[in-house]
Amino acid sequence: MSEVLSAARGAKASRPEHATLIGVIAGELALLAVGFLTGHLLLAAAAAAAIAYFLIAFRSPDLAWILVWISVPPNVEVLFQGGFAVTLPTEPMILLALLAWSLRALLERRWAIPSSPLHLPLAALAGLALLSALWSVNPVSTLKAWVMMAGYVAFGYLYYLQASCDRRWRERALLVVAITGAVWGAFGIARVLFAGGAAREAVAVASTYSYGAFRPFFREHGTYAAYLGMLLPATVLAAMDRTGRTRIVYVVSALCIGGGVLLAFARAGWLAVALVIPLSVVAWARSRRAARGLLLPFVLALAVTLLAAGIGISNQIARHASSVVSSGNMSNLERLNRWGTALAMARDRPWTGVGYGCYLDAYPAYRSKTIVTDQTYIRMGVHSEPLKVLSELGVPGLLTALWLLGAVAWLAIRAFRGLPDPDERVLALAALAGLGTYWINGLFNAYLVEDKVTVPFWVAIGVIGALGRRLDEARPAADPAP
């Protein structure tokens, strides 16, 4: 009888929510009807979708985060009149999510942000980047770049810093990461092998000029490889750590992601995966005291190798990998040109740089005259995160960025060693390894201007911050003084 009464009370409590839902649906349909009658159905549909997503973000923040994560790989940049570019639908979704979360925090009177050793170096770097607008070669570009990055930091770092990190949260997050990576790994494999029905010709083109192979969603192969490379460690470690059907899901996902990285023909992406994955699986095996677990990543690597041999691209892979030391390779020459230009900016402005986000604006004035390729006059980035920071924020900016990265790495290592829950330790290792792939990639590329890399980058840092909070909570309380 008591169960019946409880169910009845729950039904009564849910009636206001049902009424609200019906009202929202009616309002959405009315908005679409008005758009249809006025000839602006597309605009009305966009407004209806924005309202629906805002309500989802307010009601279920975790679901809103997942929807943004899913939207990142397939989004496209749309250029509006006046040169204003927006990445759709991700950037409007992030803005709506942040507004909804802020409103929820205001209504719940919950504004406190958990403490973290990452706050100080991050605040110092953000403050320096903002101040650089005072001496920037293009203050408007600096402010735009700062606002955009602040949105990504708030969405990735600040939101996940407050995550519960309980078992359900961890399993859901890892599964979303693995499945998303598997889908886009399979997309890349299909695009390279089956484009135009000529697999061998497509591979030959991809191994030399891969820039358009993954369009319209990834503008060039390096971004694609960097994105998948950041997801691969978590997927491989989860495959090693799980059993049964769940392991099969992660194994298949790891194969798809690894195949995508291989066929991206991005040398920095290959190097990052080749260095980070072995180190992370060895660290896992030592932590778990399970040397037999190393068999699974070996089998995965063998499967990807057999894939390359089976489709006849082993020679292309070897030739492309060896081109890293070729003095006649255009990519190598253009990197030297961009790196030399960044160093010239740093020599001219060692303490200030040219302003955050302004390497492209300053490039024509500092361009090297000794190295000239077909790409010399193209508006292109510096191809190195450290040199980008050095050229835009000077020596103080580079030192501050290294301080932040060091703090992130140290906190992740402490969490991996000190957390009592082995699943939490694996998550700390996965987040650090994912960041590690980009830190290696970032020596040769600068993709943090791309949301496809920026979102997982800051999410990983937020996860490490959350696990650091869990580490503090797990410490036994200090014994009271006698």
| Residue pLDDT, tens place only, 389-410 | 999 999 999 999 999 999 999 9
Q: What's the total number of domains in the chain?
A: 3
Whether residue 151 sits in one domain with residue 50: no
E strand or H helix at 394: helix 385-418
* Domain span holding position 47: 14-108
Return the percentage of the chain with pLDDT > 70, whole number.
82
352 and 235 in one domain? no
Band of residue 97 on the pLDDT scale cut at 50, 70, 90 = very high
Same domain, 267 and 343: no
Query: What would the pLDDT profile of 343-356 be if each residue is shown by its tens digit?
Result: 999 999 999 999 99
Between 297 and 26, the more confident residue is 297
Q: Which of 270, 298, 325 is the last residue of a domain?
A: 325
Q: Which pLDDT band, with edges at 50, 70 and 90, does 195 fall under?
A: low
Q: What is the pLDDT of residues 150-177, one digit of tens each?
A: 999 999 998 888 777 778 888 888 999 9
> 262-271, 318-327, 360-369, 430-439: which has the minimum mean pLDDT?
318-327
User: How far, in Å, CA of 415 to CA of 23, rounded?
Assistant: 46
> Is 1 contained in some domain?
no
Question: For 289-344, what is each residue's pLDDT tens digit?
Answer: 777 778 888 888 888 878 777 766 667 776 766 666 555 566 777 888 889 899 99
The confidence score (pLDDT) of residue 190 equals 86
Q: How many CA atoms lie within 13 A of 391 on its CB side?
A: 27
Question: Is 465 among the domain residues?
Answer: yes
346 and 470 share one domain: yes
- pLDDT recorded at residue 391: 97
Percentage, residues of the chain above pLDDT 90: 51
The predicted-structure confidence for 225-240, as pLDDT tens digits, reads as follows: 999 999 999 999 999 9
Residues 18 and 70 grouped into a single domain: yes
Lowest pLDDT segment from 42-56, 256-270, 280-294: 280-294
- Whether residue 252 is contained in a domain is answered as yes
- β-strand partners of 79: 85
pLDDT grade for 212, boundaries at 50, 70 and 90: low
Contacts within 8 Å (CB) and 24+ apart, 407-412: 407/117, 407/118, 407/121, 408/118, 408/432, 408/435, 408/461, 408/464, 409/435, 410/117, 411/116, 411/117, 411/118, 411/464, 411/465, 411/467, 411/468, 412/464, 412/467
